[in-house]
Structures are given as structure tokens and as C-alpha cells.
Amino acid sequence: MSNLRTIDRATGVIRVALLLAGALSAATLTLLAATDLGPRALIVEAFVFDVAWLTAAGISIYFARTREGGRTVLESWQLVARRVIPGSVRHFFLLELTGLRALAGTILRRQPIVPAAATPVHPRRGVDAFLIAMIVVVAIEAAVVELVVPWLQLRLIIHVFEAYAIIFVLGQMFVPRQFPHYVTRDELVLRSGTREIARIPLRNISAAAKQLDTSVTSNEVRGGVLRLPMRGECTHALRLRTPHEVTLPGWTCEVRAQVTEIRLATESDLTGLTG
């Protein structure tokens, strides 16, 4: 296994650059609030931007010349990003992108995103009460801000974040519709948004039956059972002949486990889904 000295050096440089750029940007934004120092602050901010892209370009050239471990420039940057950006931030960013794609697909009335020869496992119909409650809370908060916050600029900034929060929540509501589980000729493919959790060979499914399970409200692996609920319940149970490994995305790290049973929520009839 090749060492990662090139990646380590680049990661260290980027961490220092981010700290300095963040501190300098915060100072310049403060200066922007002062009318007489505004132009100078903009010049400093432009300098920060120049240093940032020149640093990125320099590191890219360094990657291209060293090609440590035979990695391309893009692969090297991906390794650096995994080290610099916390796992929870990467997870949230992926949730945002997936939600926006799902919302856009729903508005444009696109069909669920599954392979051409696959059959989608349709999610349960209805509205998630928790997500609707979040939207109501954001709406109430917007009204309170209008009554309490006296500064127009601050109110506008808060309302922008509130509007984006509603868009984010709506996107999460439509993710299961646009990116459902699906069945191919040989496999049941389980997904969490755009990420695959597992590919279960149909021949490994020994029994499939309707079964109501309200024990969890979010994706979970426990006691050899993978639960993928919607609105706090699972509607079907699939029992496996042999244990199968699943990979469940998380905020800080992925959870890998061997499972012998899968419980999920769907409007589709999976009772005949056996190999």
C-alpha cells in the first residue's frame, strides 16, 4: 500500500488556508458594515478569493505531477475532501442534493428513477406528519420574527433560511417517491435516497409476508433485522435464507451489519417476492 504523504501535505495546507480565509473573511464582512471601510474590505475579500483559487490550482498541479499511488487529480481531491470535511457535513450535503433532485423531479412529474428493466417498490402514500409539523413550525417562526426582530436586513436573512428549510423538508418528503427500492429479474435493491443499502438476490429470500412493525421511526439495524420505515412503521417482512451484509448511511459513519430479515414500508405487494 502506497503512503499518503502527498495527500497529508495537501490536507494540512488546505486546513490552514481554510482557517486563515475564514478569519479574514469574517473580518472583512465586519468592515463591510462600516460605510467608509467598505471598498477596502471588498479589496481584501477579492484577495482572499485569489489566494483560494491559486492554492487550489497549485495543489492540483502538485497532484498531477506526483500521481501518488497512480491516483488521478480528481481521486486525490476526493481523498482530501473526505479528510477535511466532517462526515456529518458530507452526509447533510448529500441529503440536500438528493432532496432538491427529488423535489425537482416531482414538480416536473418525472417517473421514479430506477433502471429500465426494474420494477419500483412504491413507497407508502400519504404525508409524513413530522415533516408537515416542521413546515408549520417554520411558518410560525417566520411570523414571530416579523413581530420581534426590528432590523429589516436581519429579518430578510432569517426568512431566506426559513424558505430554504421548507424547500429542504419538502425535498426529503419526495425522496422515497423519486428514489424507491426496486426489483430486477434477480435482485431486490434497497436504497436510502440515491445510495444503495444492499442488493438482495431473490433466491436468498425464503419468505415474504405483510407484517406491521411500529418499533422504529428511522432506518435501523438491530438484532439482525434491517428496518426501513416510513411514517414510523414497516408493512412487509422479508426473511433471508442466509445472512446478507447491508450498509446503512449515517451522520458520522456507515453502519455495516449482517442481517437475516428486512422490514420495509411499501404500497407494493411483496408477498410473492421469493426465490
pLDDT of residue 33: 58
pLDDT of residue 1: 38
Mean pLDDT, the chain, integer: 82
- Full DSSP string of 81-129: HHHHS-HHHHHHHHHHHHHHHHHHHHHTTPPP---TT-EEEPPPPS--H
Where are the domains positioned within the chain?
5-84, 181-264
* Number of other residues whose CB lies within 10 A of the CB of residue 145: 15
Which pLDDT tens digit goes with each residue over 114-169? 998 899 998 877 666 767 787 788 888 888 888 888 887 778 888 888 888 888 88
> Residue 40 — pLDDT band, cuts 50, 70, 90?
low
Highest mean pLDDT among 33-42, 92-101, 238-247: 238-247
Q: pTM score, two decimals?
A: 0.70
Distance linking the first and last C-alpha atoms of the chain:
41
Q: Is the pLDDT of residue 204 over 70?
A: yes
Q: Is the pLDDT of residue 274 over 70?
A: yes
Q: Is the pLDDT of residue 39 over 70?
A: no
* Lowest-confidence region among 125-139, 140-154, 202-216, 259-273: 125-139
Q: Is the pLDDT of residue 42 over 80?
A: no
Q: Is the pLDDT of residue 226 over 90?
A: yes
Q: Is the pLDDT of residue 4 over 70?
A: no
pLDDT of residue 58: 82
> Residue 2 — pLDDT band, cuts 50, 70, 90?
very low
pLDDT of residue 179: 93
- Full DSSP string of 146-169: HHH---HHHHHHHHHHHHHHHHHH
- Summary count for the chain: helices (H), strands (E): 6, 9
> Residue 225 — pLDDT band, cuts 50, 70, 90?
very high
